[in-house]
Amino acid sequence: MDGLPDVVLRDLQPDDWARVQAWEADEEILHYLGKKGLTTVPGNAAGLWSRGVAGNRRRVFAIETGGLFIGYVELREINWRRRAAELRICIGEKAYWSRGYGTAAVREVMDWSFNAVNLEYIYLRVYRDNPRALRCYEKCGFRYEGILRAGGRTEDEIVLMGIRRPGSRVLTHGGQGYVGLRVGVFRDNPVNRPS
């Protein structure tokens, strides 16, 4: 697919938990996850497999390449009435950073979301100081929709991005942007677009 590396998405398994915990113990990875990884949410270890990985409002996939588990991608806050979900991704194996694996995994989960389960809209939040992730999401077709500013520091700014399924007529805030999130409309404003 477009010269990207081959990735396979599979269900996250209990045997994957130790590796996920090790990745999320890394401060750099946890920073980019917004301090909220799969293993940092209270009660996740006990209940992730029964309700968290494939619950009605959440789906977590392992990302593999060549049989090696390198990360995970999560759809959370799935709203079936509005046909929308939030995307999060973690490439935990740093040797696979900046090599197209994140882009390939995001495209795979977008294909599954739009074609297998008929979602209309996927949105995400990403720190402005994460240019690798911003490039990935741009390549996948996500559009800038706003910025949440806190503390006056660039590293604290969160970029809001979203993508609609082609041909979708989903109604979002102000006709554009996050479904049901009241942050104001900033979409495609070059002043607010991260540099």
Q: Which two tokens stand for residue 60?
A: 């977590």
Report how far residue 53's alpha carbon sits from residue 108's, in angstroms, rounded to the nearest whole number.
17
Q: What is the mean pLDDT of the chain?
A: 80
Contact of 141 with 50, CB cutoff 8 Å:
no
Query: Per-residue pLDDT tens for 26-51?
Result: 988 888 887 677 765 555 554 554 44
Q: What are phi and psi of 108, to 5 degrees?
A: -65, -45
Report how far residue 67's alpha carbon sits from residue 69's, in angstroms, rounded to the nearest whole number.
7
Catalytic, 178? Answer no
Question: Which CATH number is associated with domain 8-175?
Answer: 3.40.630.30
pLDDT of res. 173: 45
pLDDT at 73 over 70: yes
Q: Which two tokens stand for residue 128?
A: 């402005």
The letter for the amino acid at 155 is E
DSSP conformation class of 154 = G
Query: Per-residue pLDDT tens for 158-171?
Result: 899 999 998 766 55
Which residue out of 32, 72, 123, 137 is catalytically annotated? 137
Mean pLDDT of 67-79: 94
pLDDT of res. 17: 87
The ranges assigned to domains in the chain are 8-175
- Quote the pTM value: 0.79
Q: Which residues contact 98 (CB under 8 A, 6 or more apart)?
A: 132
